[in-house]
Chain A
């Protein structure tokens, strides 16, 4: 014997509908404050940046008519392209150096340490609790004419005149940045190495592979997501860095970030600065696509 619902169908139906729909709606409303803030803080500024790149600077005002001039200038004057290219090269070297140096360290903590992994991780990150500026400055101290390396070598008598090639060139920038980003590279690689099921290594050995080939065929491919994350995390911010080149790069170590900064500083040509920034972003996107395509190919060949 069944009894029908006693409340009127209209109200309960509507309530229930709201319940049903509310699954996705509830989730979305939970997300919306964050989303709104990010839209305002990201989408709009980037849009404005993009728009500005098509305007022109007129002393302190903008000429708000559409023009390709900034982009024409960018391609016409070789210096911009050259410095962008150099920045990409330096960032690429930094990324390569940082990731290559970081990988064995991450491997060590993930796969060789059995207890107190957290302690090691903290140990790695501790130096990075000093100010970034001070860390860069520390390298300036180390490599300078009267700096630590030179005065130290002089006082033990190894050299009589300070070494000049240490500072104020792209090499100094590369070393400094590789040091500054070390922790950022180690952590993602560590996380993805840690996730690998230990029994996979055992299975590979059981099937006849030696230690090295096990690494190449099992560990490396499975840790690739971490390596990619680390590479992106290091490469992208480094391209736009201007602090390090300012402090240790000298005139030969200038990067594209310095140029953009001057556009908003002394050179005061905001639209041109915006255009250069857009070009930088496009270049970065292209490089990232190349990187992802490359690792995809690597995965397919090794797997």
Chain B
């Protein structure tokens, strides 16, 4: 049941010679937590600012709740934004910052004060009302920026990389709070970030953008486990790519011939491949199991030798050198035991195994 709250229709934005957004069309559903994810310069912030009304599309139309927005200035749009650096008014205290946009709302003093108090409760800063803006920490300012936008009950809340300036622990905490907040209130959130983990944690759906174009829109799980293109597969997380050619394709399994991994049998694949087609065999690092004694001749197994490794606390990354391949394969392993030193010997022979449904097949041209 499609219920779009925002609809991009052929939207483009050019700055002089530079095309920041290139002919983009997609919908955002009511009540979603939708993220725009991509590296710097991919156009995600430009797209967000066009929804807010700070940039005007060079071509195309943006509809909010079925209303075209091209002739509407930012102060008359039913959306509100949380800015990257929060944009808290330095000359006002917290209460007056939050109440700033409510001047024309027609509330009595008492009603307004009640709403402000509710907002302060919502952002978990009760009693902070009379603090000056300059006295707040980064995290507190961010919450005030949130409250200031939410008190206006916009149809969509726009967030421009709001957690970027926070340290890791605070950021993770805020991510959880944001998600809970969104689910509690039910407003659509449009969230811009370059941090994948953040997008995967928070979103119902993610649009992966690159160089002005939307590469793919899907849920986090779909994007990670079933990416639709090599670009997205590589962009999200880490991915090992192997060149291959389809040998056969049936309903139950697809067989691929690769040089590095031998013959690979893939089950449960969404890919529509035909025999003779060129393909990428893509396997996530955590889907590869390292085994240090020869398991014998089995399907979905290959052998190589250990290269450098990196210790990440909860998991370790190993690079495995395969004979038919220049680039080492990245393998990620949870540190289930406290002493994993025995795995860290370079040049030690190692066998890699993976499940047949852990493979992603992508077209290769």
Give the interface of A toward B (CB within 8 A).
Answer: 1-7, 11-12, 15-16, 19-20
Residues of chain A within 8 A (CB-CB) of B56 are 16, 19-20
* Cβ-closest chain A residue relative to B63: A3
In the complex, the number of residue pairs spanning A and B with C-beta atoms less than 8 Å apart equals 33
A19-B56, A20-B58 given; A5·B68 CB < 8 A: yes
Q: B58–A12 contact, CB under 8 A?
A: no
Distance A16 CA – B57 CA, assembled complex (angstroms)? 9
Give the interface of B toward A (CB within 8 A).
Answer: 2, 4, 7, 9, 25, 27, 56-58, 61, 63, 66, 68, 70-71
Q: A12–B68 contact, CB under 8 A?
A: yes
Q: B71–A15 contact, CB under 8 A?
A: yes
Among B4, B27, B58, B61, which residue has its beta carbon within 8 angstroms of that of A5? B61
Distance A5 CA – B10 CA, assembled complex (angstroms)? 12
Q: A2–B71 contact, CB under 8 A?
A: no
Distance A189 CA – B97 CA, assembled complex (angstroms)? 39
Residues of chain B within 8 A (CB-CB) of A16 are 56-57, 70-71
A1-B2, A2-B9, A19-B56 given; A12·B70 CB < 8 A: yes
Which residue among B57, B61, B66 has the maximum number of chain A CB atoms within 10 Å of its CB? B61
Task: Give min CB distance, B355 to chain A, whole Å.
Answer: 39
Q: B66–A3 contact, CB under 8 A?
A: yes
Residues of chain B within 8 A (CB-CB) of A4 are 9, 61
Distance A11 CA – B68 CA, assembled complex (angstroms)? 13
Residues of chain B within 8 A (CB-CB) of A1 are 2, 4
Residues of chain B within 8 A (CB-CB) of A5 are 61, 63, 68, 70
Q: A2–B68 contact, CB under 8 A?
A: no
Q: A2–B70 contact, CB under 8 A?
A: no
Distance A277 CA – B217 CA, assembled complex (angstroms)? 71
22 A–B contact pairs at CB < 8 A?
A2-B9, A2-B25, A3-B7, A3-B63, A3-B66, A4-B9, A4-B61, A5-B63, A5-B68, A7-B68, A7-B71, A12-B68, A12-B70, A12-B71, A15-B70, A15-B71, A16-B56, A16-B57, A16-B70, A19-B70, A19-B71, A20-B58
Task: Give min CB distance, A62 to chain B, whole Å.
Answer: 50
Residues of chain B within 8 A (CB-CB) of A6 are 68
Task: Give min CB distance, B17 to chain A, whole Å.
Answer: 16
Residues of chain B within 8 A (CB-CB) of A7 are 68, 71
Task: Give min CB distance, A210 to chain B, whole Å.
Answer: 40
Task: Give min CB distance, B302 to chain A, whole Å.
Answer: 47
Task: Give min CB distance, B53 to chain A, whole Å.
Answer: 10
Distance A15 CA – B61 CA, assembled complex (angstroms)? 13
